[in-house]
């Protein structure tokens, strides 16, 4: 989705790109205050800056419903922009029913628990939940904003082209969602999933990795702006909450993916929970997800039209 804002100072392109909130309403309000936003007619706004949310507004924290409403009000008022993260899509697929009245997709056990807690915030008000899910279905999966890009986990020009054609009348329709899950068009399904979750390689069968919860890991996230050949697991890894060995990745597990070009525009992402950094892993990729659930920190990058990313433009608040 390409956006041109018709607001004061739009030519100066001042954006505050805000990382994964995960239901932390108080921290989000604290961050907006620190960024200079104030409440005007019940909506957070800034006189010349626009907040840009990279997805994952819900789950884990206590106030997912209120976070959705805050962001929705900003989007509707033109003081904010927002895209979908994988957690919103999990909710969309679970709470949107098929023709038999069943969820389009039932997620794994852990995500089911998260969505159960999310639904409890509505205290039985199913119409309010349904209304919020319908609104989420209108959010785009990416943004292009005056020379920068925003996506939840992975930017691939070919994927973006496919994704742009998934929306009908400004939303993701049930038929489209069913087709994506059924992989009616595998290329579209792959574009959809990788845009939301990034590129992941399967673990070799002889490599047994367990995370802090003693859960066996079957795959790992990678740096999709880097060529994988000759890299070690540790060197190519990005955003994994478990340690990987420092020996070369065998060629047979290297999946095909399009590397983000060094000459491509700045792209801002969430998803990777980079509490310990690096938040700027390469010159044109910036992660704004400071892992709020684990670190208690919420991050924003203040983009002021620069051509080079600057670590000093980060703003953090902590619980």
Indicate whether 180 and 275 sit together in one domain: yes
pLDDT tens across 234-276, in order? Answer: 999 999 999 999 999 999 999 999 999 999 999 999 999 999 8
Residue 92: per-residue pLDDT: 98
**Boundary-marking domain end, from 219, 239, 256:** 256
Which distant-in-sequence residues (6+ apart) come within 8 Å of 269 by Cβ? 54, 150, 151, 152, 153, 154, 155, 285, 286, 287, 288, 289
Indicate whether 90 and 194 sit together in one domain: yes
Q: Is residue 245 part of a domain?
A: yes
- Average pLDDT score over residue span 198-222: 93
Q: Is residue 4 part of a domain?
A: no
Indicate whether 43 and 77 sit together in one domain: yes
Contact indicator for 218, 211 with CB cutoff of 8 Å: no
CB-side neighbour CA atoms (13 Å) of 229: 3
pLDDT tens across 138-165, in order? Answer: 999 999 999 899 999 999 999 999 999 9
- Average pLDDT score over residue span 29-50: 97
**Boundary-marking domain end, from 209, 233, 256:** 256
**Boundary-marking domain end, from 256, 282, 302:** 256
Indicate whether 158 and 296 sit together in one domain: yes
**3-class state of residue 138 by DSSP:** coil
Count of domains forming the chain: 2
DSSP-assigned beta bridge partners for residue 35: none
Residue 7: per-residue pLDDT: 44
Structural domain boundaries enclosing 140: 12-199+257-318
Indicate whether 167 and 307 sit together in one domain: yes
Share of the chain above pLDDT 90, in %: 92
pLDDT band at 2 (very low <50, low <70, confident <90, very high): low
pLDDT band at 13 (very low <50, low <70, confident <90, very high): confident
Q: Is residue 1 part of a domain?
A: no
């Amino acid at each position: 989705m390409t956006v041109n804002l018709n607001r004061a100072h739009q030519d100066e392109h001042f954006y505050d790109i805000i990382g994964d909130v995960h239901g932390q309403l108080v921290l989000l309000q604290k961050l907006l205050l620190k960024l200079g936003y104030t409440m005007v007619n019940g909506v957070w706004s800034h006189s010349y800056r626009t907040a840009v949310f990279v997805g994952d507004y819900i789950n884990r924290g206590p106030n997912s419903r209120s976070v959705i409403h805050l962001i929705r009000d900003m989007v509707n008022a033109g003081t904010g922009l927002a895209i979908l993260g994988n957690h919103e899509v999990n909710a969309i697929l679970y709470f949107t029913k098929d023709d038999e009245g069943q969820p389009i997709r039932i997620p794994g056990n852990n995500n089911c628990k998260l969505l159960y807690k999310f639904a409890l915030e509505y205290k039985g008000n199913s119409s309010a939940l349904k209304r919020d899910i319908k609104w989420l279905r209108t959010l785009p999966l990416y943004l292009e904003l005056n020379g920068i890009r925003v996506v939840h986990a992975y930017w691939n020009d070919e994927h973006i082209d496919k994704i742009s054609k998934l929306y009908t009348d400004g939303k993701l329709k049930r038929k489209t969602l069913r087709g994506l899950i059924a992989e009616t068009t595998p290329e579209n399904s792959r574009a959809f999933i990788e845009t939301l979750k990034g590129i992941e390689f399967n673990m070799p069968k002889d490599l047994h990795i367990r995370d802090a919860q003693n859960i066996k890991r079957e795959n790992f996230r990678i740096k999709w702006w880097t060529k994988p050949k000759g890299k070690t697991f540790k060197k190519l890894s990005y955003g994994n909450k478990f340690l990987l060995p420092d020996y070369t990745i065998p060629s047979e597990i290297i999946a095909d993916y399009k590397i983000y070009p060094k000459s491509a525009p700045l792209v801002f992402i969430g998803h990777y929970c980079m509490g310990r950094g690096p938040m700027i892993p390469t010159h044109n990729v910036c992660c704004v997800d400071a892992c709020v659930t684990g670190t208690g920190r919420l991050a924003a990058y203040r983009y002021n039209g620069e051509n080079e990313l600057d670590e000093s433009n980060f703003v953090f608040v902590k619980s």
